Amino acid sequence: MLDQGAPPQQGSRTGPASPGVLARLMRRKPVEHLVAEGGQGEGGSLRRSLGLWQLTMISIGATLGTGIFVVLGEAVPKAGPAVTLSFVIAGFTALFSALSYAELAGTIPVAGSSYSYAYATMGELIAWICGWCLVLEYGVSVAAVAVGWGEYLNELLDGTIGVTIPDALSAPPGDGGIFNLPALIVVLLAMAFLLGGARESARANTVMVAVKIAALVLFCAIGVQGFRSGNYAHFMPLGMAGVSAAGATLFFSYIGFDAASTAGEEAKNAQRDLPRAIMLSLGIVTALYVLVAAVAVGAEPWQRFGDSEAALAQIMREVTGQSFWGTLLALCAVIAIASVVLTVLYGQTRILFAMSRDGLVPKVFSRVHPRTGTPRVNTVIVSLFCGVLAAAIPLGQLADATSIGTLFAFGLVNIAVVVLRRTRPDMPRTFRVPLSPVLPALGLAFCVWMMGSLSAVTWVVFGVWMAVGLVFYFLYGHRRSRLAAPAPSEK
C-alpha cells in the first residue's frame, strides 16, 4: 500500500485520471447538447424567423450566379464546350453530398453545419479541421464573388454613363490593379443588411434572387438566337482531364445548400424545412447552370472566354449588336451577385458563431446583439476580413482555394452521416439518404477525385492554411474548448 505522505511514483495519479491526448482530440459533443444549445449566444439568442421559402432562397441566393456570372469565364478555357459536362459532374458531386447534408440537417439542426456534424460523430480535432475548411470555403467564396461583382459594375457604368472605374481601383494586384474597390464596397453593403437582422436580410435576398433568375432566363432567351452548332464541333478539346479540372473549379458554385444548413438555429421548423430547402435549391440551380452554360458556349466560341468575368453581358451585346441588353444583364448581375455575397457572408458568420460557442475561437464571435438578435461584432470582423481579401487577391486563385475547402468539408459530411447511422441508429430522422452507405461513399469518392484535379499551387495554399489552423487549435482551441472544462464533481 502506498504511503500517503510519500510523493507519488512516476505514472501514478493523486486524483482522477485525466484523459490521454488522443482521447481529448477525439472527444465528441453529444447531439442532444448541440440541439439544446440552439440559438444561444453570449448575451442573447438568435431569433427563429425563417420558413421553408426563406431557407430555399438563402440556398439559391448563395449558389445561383456564382458559377455563371463570375467563374464561367475561368472554367470554359479548361474544358472547352464540355464545360456543360463539368457542371453536370460538379452537380452530381454536390448531389451526393447534399443528400448527406439533408439527413444531418434534419437530425442536427444547428448553425455549425458540417462542423457541428463532425463534432457529434468524429470528435473535436476533425470538427476543428472541418470548421477551418469552412472558414476557407465561405470567407474566400465571398471574396471571389465580390471580385466578379466589380466586373459587372464596370459593364453597367460603361453602358449607362460611359465611364468605368480605373483598373488601378477595380482590379487586385497581379491583375493590373492596386486595390479592388468595388469588391470591398459590395461586401460592406452585405454587412449592412446582415446587421439589420436575419429576417430583414432574408427579405432582401428573396428580391435579389428573383432578379437573378429573371436575368438568366432573359440571357437564355436572347443568347439562343446566336447559337451556332459549330461551336460544339470539338466538344472535348482538352480531354477528360480538362473537364474534371473545370468541374473542380466550378464546384465552389454549389455551396449554397451548405449556407442553408447554417441557418438551422434561425429556422422556424428546421428539422422539417432544412432537408426540403437543400434538395429543392440544388435541383433548381443545377438545371439553370447547365442551361445557361450550354447557351453561352453555343453563342460564343470557347476560345474567346477568359478575357473577362462579365462574360454573359458581353455575349448579350455581341448577339444583339446593341449595348442595351448587355447593360440590362449587367444591372441584373450587379444585384444578383450581391445576393451571393450576402448569403455566403451570412453562412460564414454562423459557422464562427457555433465554433465560438464551443470555445474553439474567441467568445466575441458568439456575442449576440439583444435588439437585432444577430452576432453583430462577428459580422463586422468577418466582413472587413473578406472585403480586404477580395480587394487584394485575383479571382482564379480565390475560386480554386474555395473549391478545395468545400470538397474537403463535404467529404467529411459523407463520412459523418454513415458514422451517425451506426452510432445512433435510433435517432429520429426527417430525411434519410437512400442506399446508405453506398451513396455517401460515392459522394466521398467524387470529392476526393475532384480535389485531385486541382493544381499543385492550390494544394500548397490548402496545406499552409491547414497548418495555420492546427497551430491555432493547439495553442488556443484545444485548451479553451468547453468540453475540456472539468465536470463540477471534478473541480
Tens-digit pLDDT profile for the chain (491 aa)? 344 444 444 444 444 445 677 777 888 888 888 888 877 777 777 888 889 999 999 899 888 866 677 678 778 888 999 999 999 888 888 888 899 999 999 899 888 888 999 999 999 999 999 999 888 878 777 777 777 787 778 878 888 888 888 888 877 776 777 888 888 899 999 999 999 888 888 888 899 999 889 888 988 999 899 999 888 988 899 899 899 888 877 876 777 777 888 888 888 898 899 999 999 999 898 889 889 999 999 998 888 886 555 678 788 888 888 888 878 888 888 888 888 888 888 989 999 999 999 999 999 999 998 888 889 999 999 999 888 887 877 666 666 777 788 888 889 999 999 999 999 998 889 999 999 899 999 999 988 988 888 888 889 888 998 999 999 999 999 889 988 765 444 33
pTM of the model: 0.81
What per-residue confidence (pLDDT) applies to 370?
83
Distance CA 322, CA 285 (A): 29
What per-residue confidence (pLDDT) applies to 233?
85
What per-residue confidence (pLDDT) applies to 146?
79
Distance CA 211, CA 230 (A): 32
What per-residue confidence (pLDDT) applies to 421?
93
What per-residue confidence (pLDDT) applies to 2?
40
What per-residue confidence (pLDDT) applies to 327?
83
Place of cell 477568359: 306
Q: How many Cβ atoms are within 10 Å of 35's Cβ, its own excluded?
A: 18
Amino acid, res. 455: S
What per-residue confidence (pLDDT) applies to 70?
67
Place of cell 428546421: 270
What DSSP assignment string belongs to 167-225? HHHHS-TTTT-S--HHHHHHHHHHHHHHHT-HHHHHHHHHHHHHHHHHHHHHHHHHHGG
What per-residue confidence (pLDDT) applies to 491?
38
Distance CA 138, CA 62 (A): 10
